[in-house]
Structure 1
Amino acid sequence: MIRRPFPFRTVMQAVLSAVCLAAGLVVCLAAPAPAGVNLPQTIVLSPEVLYQSRQRILAREGAVRTAMAALKASADAAMLVPVEPVTAKGRSGSGLPVREYRSLAPYWWPDPKSRTGLPYVRRDGERNPEADSDRYDRKRLTRMAMTVRTLALAWYFTGNQLYAARASAHVRAWLCAPATRMVPNLEHAQMRPGLDQGNRTGIIETAALIPVCDAIRLLEPSKAWTGEDSRRAREWFGKYLFWLLRSEQGRAEAAALNNHGTWFDAQVAAFALFRGDRELAREVAGMAGNRRIATQILPDGSMPRELARTRPRHYTFFNLEALMVLASVGERCGLDLWHWATPTGQSIRRALDRNGPHLDPADPLSGTGADDFDPYPYVPLFRRAALVYNDTRYLDYLVPLDEQTLARETSFIAY
């Protein structure tokens, strides 16, 4: 199910990971649940699809047995992942409080012309491995999110309280326990040594918390998660939202015209809905059409600001992913961003249609040349599109991909 132990993947992949379903079953799972059924109160994960999948598992259908075995194997591995909150890094000589989140800007490197390496210089698209070291929190946060997501889903599908207890321990350490919980700001995210102690671009890193919100919603009925846990988690997200919306960094990131701005909105909308502020979630999702789709997607479905990057395909699909998170939040608030379009056709669907053929690693975007692109994290976007638009054509874009890798990487439930 996972090629490497808990690698950093995109948010949508983290949110979607659950049960491997054959491509022919994806669309039929979109059927509504029977009236009176208690659906999970998830935000990005589809409550209906989760429910239908669990019914298949409870019925011991042969089509899902292999998938459940894979999920349980991943959950058993996740049980062994240590609980490492933001305090696990220690002070590392930074002089900052240990509960402050710290990360290094990934595309910034020591200056080879400088004796001290300072100030760091930008090499766009080239990831500095120092950013993933244990001195910083980004990899640790991502690992927690992946672990919690896997365990919460395993609890939901199996009812095994051990999975719920372990997932709860991770979330409590990061968001609830006074001694270890992260300070709810990103004042020191994506630091650029020699230049600053934090940058507004670091806000994109807490997109990893979107699947944690869904995981908490799944955990709430378990014996391992308490009402006090929910209160403290909602309190944490309330404080973090206040910082996002009021801080200089947050305002600057909200004004970004590319994927950074889209992911800012996706986070605000998802976190607001999680803590019960439906009005704010609906407001942000409702503005996404004119604010993000119309300004970032051309009538032909391309995204010029993402195409200008050194990894154009990655950033094109990454931005599309954020738009689909916003559409999922909007769906919970009675809005339909999936079918929103400008008079000239700028829409999520147009972007899917334009870029779907380029999911094939051998088919780079026109005019951009070959690039370092891993398509598998974005496979769930097209499975979701097949559900939303009731169109299996979106599954055809998966045909060029390696079948064995696809079987591992797309062990997901369409959200």
Structure 2
Amino acid sequence: MIRSIIFLFATVFLFSSTTKGQEKFKLLINDEATLKVLKQQFISKSSNEQISRADRALLKRPYSVTFKKTKIAPSGDIHDYLSQAPYWWPDPTKANGEPYIRKDGRRNPEIYKLNDRAQIGDLTAALNDLALGYYLSGEEKYAKKANELLTVFFVDTATRMNPSLTFAQYVPGLNDGRGIGIIETRGLIDIPEAIALLQESKSLKPETVSGVKKWFSAYLTWLTDSANGKSERLEKNNHGTNYDLQVIDFALFLDNKELAKRTLSSITIPRLDVQFDTDGRQPLETARTNSWDYVNMNLDAWMKIAKL
């Protein structure tokens, strides 16, 4: 029953027809009807918390993995994303602490010395606020700022992130990066949403949209073809679900419905029997130290896939 319901919801968009002519971006996660109601509420009110958040986002500087760099990836390229595995700690029995050892649920504060993950998180939060600010108010200043942020992070060759996560969640003394680090870009599903909300604006430049799509196309290829991507695809728990969410979302953003349908039918749907007991429990998540967080993270990914 669960399998049938999720498959039904998840395929509604995939099999829907498209209108020929000028490219139009669809909301993949957010509900357009709900947003229209919120827009009407804003029009009738003199103040709005969402607009306040958008105003604060106007004051933010651009984001890039080339900014605030405290350590460069083994490639030597400042454009490569770098992050350290959160649950790995120095081995007290080793002089230099390496290789690190795993302590599930205990975050090593060393991870916060690297800023690339925060750059992505802050970028998506700001773009979400700006896009909603423009959608609700129609004011170009929000779209103009969003265009700037998109350009710096995804398009400008001086500051753009390389479209890969080869060096994500590395473990000191063990490896240079791991496939499970791919979960750190799950927030990028907010980018297609932002572009859909901004698409009527004259401040969202065609060359920016083209550049962002080019970046996502390269990243999607890396997700599906790289060793790290293939490794993450095989993960059975929330990592696998969030991998599927990204592949399906990015494929739909790029109008690659065939890849989205193939991923959904051959990879995502079979996960249901692996991840859920007949009573709805998620044993792969409840086995973890922070089980509540992982249960909800996995359900959140499933709900978004169903929305797609």
Aligned residues: 284
Pair 1:325 & 2:284 matched: no
**Corresponding residue number in structure 1 for 2:20:** none
Pair 1:53 & 2:38 matched: yes
**Corresponding residue number in structure 1 for 2:93:** 113
Equivalent of residue 26 in structure 2, options 30, 37, 41: 41
Partner secondary structure for residue 190 of structure 1? strand
The answer (yes or no) to whether the contact 2:63–2:122 under 8 Å persists in 1 is: no
Instruction: Spell out, residue by residue over 1:220-249, the C-alpha distance to the aligned partner (whole angstroms, 9 max, x if none).
Output: 221221111111111111111111111111
Pair 1:206 & 2:185 matched: yes
1:278-293 mapped onto 2 (5 Å cutoff): 278-287=257-266, 290-293=269-272
Compared with structure 1, are the counterparts of its residues 243 and 93 closer, same or farther at alpha carbon in structure 2 (3 Å cutoff)?
Answer: closer
The answer (yes or no) to whether the contact 2:147–2:205 under 8 Å persists in 1 is: no
**Corresponding residue number in structure 2 for 1:372:** none
Partner secondary structure for residue 172 of structure 2? coil
**Corresponding residue number in structure 2 for 1:368:** none
**Corresponding residue number in structure 2 for 1:222:** 201
* C-alpha distance in structure 2 between counterparts of 1:279 and 1:50, whole Å: 29
* C-alpha distance in structure 2 between counterparts of 1:290 and 1:217, whole Å: 27
The answer (yes or no) to whether the contact 1:104–1:136 under 8 Å persists in 2 is: no
Identity percentage of aligned residues: 37
**Corresponding residue number in structure 2 for 1:349:** none
Equivalent of residue 157 in structure 1, options 112, 120, 136: 136
Partner secondary structure for residue 169 of structure 1? helix
* C-alpha distance in structure 2 between counterparts of 1:73 and 1:282, whole Å: 39
The answer (yes or no) to whether the contact 1:220–1:226 under 8 Å persists in 2 is: no
Equivalent of residue 166 in structure 2, options 167, 176, 187: 187
**Corresponding residue number in structure 1 for 2:217:** 238
Report the CA distance between 1:272 and its aligned residue: 0.6
Report the CA distance between 1:289 and its aligned residue: 6.0
Q: Which amino acid aligns with 2:40?
A: Q
* C-alpha distance in structure 2 between counterparts of 1:290 and 1:165, whole Å: 40
Compared with structure 1, are the counterparts of its residues 185 and 289 closer, same or farther at alpha carbon in structure 2 (3 Å cutoff)?
Answer: closer
* C-alpha distance in structure 1 between counterparts of 2:256 and 2:72, whole Å: 39
Partner secondary structure for residue 127 of structure 2? helix
Instruction: Spell out, residue by residue over 1:279-323, the C-alpha distance to the aligned partner (whole angstroms, 9 max, x if none).
Output: 222332344663222221111010000010001111111101111
* C-alpha distance in structure 2 between counterparts of 1:53 and 1:43, whole Å: 18
Q: Which amino acid aligns with 1:121?
A: I
The answer (yes or no) to whether the contact 1:84–1:140 under 8 Å persists in 2 is: yes
1:393-408 mapped onto 2 (5 Å cutoff): none
Compared with structure 1, are the counterparts of its residues 222 and 316 closer, same or farther at alpha carbon in structure 2 (3 Å cutoff)?
Answer: same
The answer (yes or no) to whether the contact 2:73–2:80 under 8 Å persists in 1 is: no
1:259-274 mapped onto 2 (5 Å cutoff): 259-274=238-253
Partner secondary structure for residue 92 of structure 1? coil
Report the CA distance between 1:159 and its aligned residue: 1.1
Q: Which amino acid aligns with 1:174?
A: F
Pair 1:132 & 2:112 matched: yes
* C-alpha distance in structure 2 between counterparts of 1:280 and 1:251, whole Å: 15
Pair 1:315 & 2:300 matched: no
Root mean square deviation, CA, Å:
1.9
* C-alpha distance in structure 1 between counterparts of 2:72 and 2:101, whole Å: 22
Instruction: Spell out, residue by residue over 1:180-238, the C-alpha distance to the aligned partner (whole angstroms, 9 max, x if none).
Output: 11111111000111111101110111101011221122122212211111111111111
**Corresponding residue number in structure 1 for 2:57:** 78
* C-alpha distance in structure 2 between counterparts of 1:201 and 1:296, whole Å: 17
* C-alpha distance in structure 2 between counterparts of 1:122 and 1:41, whole Å: 42
Q: TM-score, normalised by structure 2?
A: 0.87
**Corresponding residue number in structure 2 for 1:247:** 226
Partner secondary structure for residue 283 of structure 1? helix
Compared with structure 1, are the counterparts of its residues 328 and 287 closer, same or farther at alpha carbon in structure 2 (3 Å cutoff)?
Answer: farther
* C-alpha distance in structure 2 between counterparts of 1:283 and 1:55, whole Å: 38
Report the CA distance between 1:94 and its aligned residue: 4.7
* C-alpha distance in structure 2 between counterparts of 1:105 and 1:138, whole Å: 12
The answer (yes or no) to whether the contact 1:220–1:230 under 8 Å persists in 2 is: no
- In structure 1, list runs of 5 or more residues that go unmatched: 1-38, 330-415
Instruction: Spell out, residue by residue over 1:32-86, the C-alpha distance to the aligned partner (whole angstroms, 9 max, x if none).
Output: xxxxxxx97211111222223213333x1xxxx49x5211222222222221211
- In structure 2, list runs of 5 or more residues that go unmatched: 1-23
The answer (yes or no) to whether the contact 1:132–1:138 under 8 Å persists in 2 is: no
Compared with structure 1, are the counterparts of its residues 174 and 236 closer, same or farther at alpha carbon in structure 2 (3 Å cutoff)?
Answer: same
The answer (yes or no) to whether the contact 1:253–1:260 under 8 Å persists in 2 is: yes
Moved over 6 A (4+): none
**Corresponding residue number in structure 1 for 2:255:** 276
* C-alpha distance in structure 2 between counterparts of 1:128 and 1:171, whole Å: 31
* C-alpha distance in structure 2 between counterparts of 1:82 and 1:116, whole Å: 38
